[in-house]
Amino acid sequence: MKVTLISIPVRDQEEALKFYTEKLGFLKKKDEPLGGGNRWLTLVSKDWPDGPELLLEPAPNHFEPSKVYQNALKEAGIPWTQFDVDNVDSEYERLKDLGVEFSVKPTEAGTVKYAILNDTCGNYIQLVQYL
């Protein structure tokens, strides 16, 4: 068994696509219409194009419990998921220069350094560097 897809709820797929590709550097892999203006929209890491796909899921627009859960996580300051990076400090600076907002600046915690960013689509995302 292996993970091949992870879903992130987004409220606007087009805005999410711009943020995740133009700011975070992911690559679009699949973009299939599903009807009703929704798409099966997946991304992959430019460093791991054959790795797991990231689905930009429009669930909060169609399933109220998804929206409630997404809002509750964000209000509590809890990241939806985490992305590993080689250097949190350099990613923080690069993304800040692109206008990305962070709720937590690079912080060491035991064997990791992390920062938490706002993906502008309803989620906090944690960046992690293993020390």
Task: Find residue 40's DSSP bridge partners.
Answer: 32
Helix ranges restricted to H, 10-63: 13-18
The predicted pLDDT at position 13 comes to 97
Provide the pLDDT confidence category of residue 123 given band limits of 50, 70 and 90: very high
Please state, in angstroms and rounded to a whole number, the distance separating the CA atoms of residues 60 and 66: 5
pLDDT in the model for residue 86: 98
pTM of structure: 0.95
Taking the C-alpha atoms of residue 58 and residue 60, their distance in angstroms, rounded to an integer, is 6
Q: What local confidence, expressed as pLDDT, does residue 104 receive?
A: 98
Extract the tokens encoding 25: 């550097």
Q: pLDDT grade, residue 16 (50/70/90)?
A: very high
Q: Please classify residue 123 by burial: count the beta carbons closer than 10 Å to its beta carbon, then call 0-12 exposed, 13-18 middle and 19+ buried.
A: buried
pLDDT tens for residues 20-54?
Answer: 999 999 999 999 999 899 999 999 999 999 999 99
How would residue 65 be classed by pLDDT, with cut points 50, 70 and 90? Answer: very high
Residue 60: CA atoms inside 13 Å, Cβ hemisphere, count? 17
* % of the chain beyond a pLDDT of 70: 100
What's the confidence (pLDDT) of residue 42?
A: 98
Q: Which domains does the chain have, with CATH numbers?
A: 5-130 (3.10.180.10)
Q: What is the mean pLDDT of the chain?
A: 97
Q: What confidence score (pLDDT) does residue 101 get?
A: 98
CA dihedral 34, 79, 92, 22 (to 10 degrees): 10
Q: Which amino acid is at 92?
A: Y
Residue that is written with structure tokens 């879903």 in the block:
7
